[in-house]
Amino acid sequence: MTIVVCDHIHQKGLDILASDPEITMINAADEPKDILLEKFIPLADVAITRSSTDIDGKFLEKAEKLKAIVRAGVGVDNVDIPGCSKLGIVVMNVPTANTIAAVELTMTHMMSCVRKFPYAHNNLKIDRVWRRQDWYGTELKDKKLGIIGFGNIGSRVGKRAKAFEMDIVAYDPYISPSKATDLDITYTNDFEDILSCDIITIHTPKTDETRDIISTKEIERMKDGVILVNCARGGLYNEKALIEGLKSGKIAMAGIDVFDKEPATDHPLLDLDNVTVTPHLGANTRESQQNIAIQAAENAIASAKGISYPNALNLPIKESELPDFLRPYLELTQKIGHMSAQVTKSGVQSMKITTSGKVSEHIDSLTTFATVGVLKESLGDQINYVNAEHVAVERGMQVEKETALSGSGFENMVTLRLTTQNGNVFKISGTVLGDSAQRIVDIDGYALELEPKGNLILFKNNDEPGVIGDVGRLIAAHQVNIADFRLGRDGKGHALAVVKVDNTVTKALIEDLEALDACISARSVAI
User: Where does residue 379 rank: exposed (0-12), middle (13-18), buried (19+ CB within 10 A)?
Assistant: buried
Of 192, 194, 196, the closest CA to residue 204 belongs to 194
For 146, other C-beta atoms within 10 Å of its C-beta total 25
8, 115, 160, 280: the active-site residue: 280
What is the DSSP track for 352-364? EEEEESGGGGGHH
262, 394, 400, 402: the active-site residue: 262
10, 156, 203, 233: the active-site residue: 233
Give dist(CA 211, CA 215) in Å, integer. 9
DSSP code, position 505:
P
- Phi, psi (5° rounding) for residue 368? -60, -45
Q: Is the distance from CB of 359 to CB of 366 less than 8 angstroms? A: yes
Of 14, 23, 45, 22, the closest CA to residue 296 belongs to 14
Coil vs helix vs strand at 526: strand
> Amino acid identity of 404?
A
Clarify whether 262 is annotated catalytic.
yes
Q: Is the distance from CB of 20 to CB of 42 less than 8 angstroms? A: no
> Could you tell me the CA-to-CA distances from 392 to 149, 168, 207, 401 in Å, in that order?
17, 26, 19, 14
Of 339, 336, 385, 375, the closest CA to residue 91 belongs to 385
Q: Just list the catalytic residues.
A: 233, 262, 280
